[in-house]
């Protein structure tokens, strides 16, 4: 058996972009489907809670602009979505650094500050 390396993980910035565009998409690129499902579940749960805490009638009664009402009603979903994107970036960065270190390739990210 040869010491073949696993396939190179995706670049962390690519994972971050996909994480911002698709909820839990970054976790799927990192090959963490269970974590992606967990983040999706909590995004839907928090989105449902925030939608029911601030009904549209409250926004209309206070004469909020439409964009402000949308952000308030979807705050839970957006919060979990952003946390999932940051988590995916962090995981991708760790995986990429470990891969580069194990393959003997040193990058600026893996060198200590001097």
Q: Is residue 86 part of a domain?
A: yes
- Other beta carbons within 10 Å of 42: 18
Residue 82 lies in domain: 12-102
Q: Is residue 17 part of a domain?
A: yes
* Interval 78-103 mean pLDDT: 91
pLDDT at site 67: 79
Per-residue buried b or exposed e for 55-92, using 16+ beta carbons within 10 Å of the residue's own CB = eeeebeeeebeeeebeeebbbbbbebbeebbebbbebb
Please give the mean pLDDT across all residues of the chain: 84
Q: Is residue 80 part of a domain?
A: yes
* Interval 34-44 mean pLDDT: 94
Q: Is residue 111 part of a domain?
A: no
Q: Is residue 6 part of a domain?
A: no
Q: Is residue 28 part of a domain?
A: yes
Q: Is residue 112 part of a domain?
A: no
The total number of structural domains in the chain stands at: 1
pLDDT at site 109: 56
* Interval 11-32 mean pLDDT: 92
Q: What pLDDT band is residue 114 in, cutting at 50, 70 and 90?
A: very low
With contact defined as beta carbons under 8 Å apart, do 74 and 51 qualify? yes
Q: Is residue 59 part of a domain?
A: yes
Per-residue pLDDT of 49-88, as tens digits, reads 988 887 777 777 777 787 788 888 888 899 999 999 999 9
């Amino acid at each position: 058996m040869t010491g073949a390396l696993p396939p190179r993980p995706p670049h962390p910035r690519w994972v971050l972009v996909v994480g911002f565009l698709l909820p839990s998409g970054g976790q799927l690129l990192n090959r963490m489907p269970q974590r992606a499902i967990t983040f999706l579940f909590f995004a839907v749960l928090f989105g449902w809670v925030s939608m029911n805490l601030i009904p549209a009638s409250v926004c209309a009664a206070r004469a909020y602009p439409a964009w402000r009402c949308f952000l308030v009603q979807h705050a839970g979903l957006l919060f979990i979505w952003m946390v999932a994107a940051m988590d995916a970036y962090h995981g991708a960065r760790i995986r990429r650094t470990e891969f580069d270190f194990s393959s003997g390739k040193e990058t600026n990210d893996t060198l200590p500050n001097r």
